[in-house]
Amino acid sequence: MGHLNQPPPKSTAATSPPQPFLLRLDAAVSLHVHNLTKPFAPRPLLRFLELLADFRFFFPVSVALLLACPYSSPLRRHLFLPLALCSLLDLIFIALLKLIVRRSRPTYSHHGDYNAVVPVDHFSFPSGHSSRVFFVASIFSFSKLRMVDAIADLHHPRLFMIIDHWFGGEEVFAINAVVTAVWAWASATALSRIALGRHYVLDVFFGACFGVLEALFTLRFLEIQTGMESIRKIEGPTRYMEALQACLVCE
């Protein structure tokens, strides 16, 4: 009977530490949004938005547009090239953050139909789809003036005809409509990540913020590169003239 007085054996299973309040609130709000949108948002549409923003689809399309665009077109330097470069930057940066943070995806959704681009993509923070669509929308917004110039460019006669037919030649209105549509697509894709149960709200929020920062960094980098190329073009003839003048003086 002595064994009845012995204390119960301690559990050998490792107990996970309690999560911070912000993460618990994030998980609760995300689950609420997931359950709220589940009856109204058709899963095929959500999956379509997911595939449309997938790196394996978006990057080849952006590279194809870059190669198909005339070299002297404003769209090449200020739209298609930033999209292609920012895709690679986004893939590396988001993968690195996921490897560092290692936040698990929500457990209330089935992820068996989701094929990760890279192994670390199985982690949740931040949302790579959200960063991708928001850097696309940001680049479109920051390149609006260049896009207006490209409409009247002789290298894009079909684009000019489309704008003239559907928008009555209102280039600025047409570009604003395109940018608005891209932002609507980006917002719908970001919301679909929560509705599908792929990510939490904070994953999507920070992913969107990172996407905007990536767009700013890429455009700034290309702007610096363009400025340096312009300086080289100016310095080349200048140095030649200086050398020629020096030879004349020596003679």
Q: Is 40 helix (H, G, I), strand (E, B) or coil?
A: coil
Q: In terms of pLDDT, which residue wins out, 219 or 5?
A: 219
162 to each of 139, 165, 174, 219, how far by Cα in Å?
22, 5, 10, 27
The residue whose two tokens read 């399309």 is 61
Rounded to the nearest integer, the mean pLDDT of the chain is 82
Q: In terms of pLDDT, which residue wins out, 55 or 116?
A: 55
Dig out the tokens for 244 from the structure. 């020629």
With vertex at residue 156, the alpha carbon angle to CA 152 and CA 157, rounded to the nearest 5 degrees, is: 80
- How large is the average pLDDT for residues 201-216? 96
Residue 150 confidence (pLDDT) above 60: yes
CA 234, 235, 236, 240 dihedral sign is positive
Q: In terms of pLDDT, which residue wins out, 188 or 149?
A: 188
- Structure confidence at residue 25 (pLDDT): 93
Q: Is 29 helix (H, G, I), strand (E, B) or coil?
A: helix
CB contact at 8 A, 132 and 221 = no
As a whole number of Å, the CA-based R_g of the chain is 26
Residue 238 confidence (pLDDT) above 70: no
The residue whose two tokens read 């938005």 is 49
- Structure confidence at residue 103 (pLDDT): 92
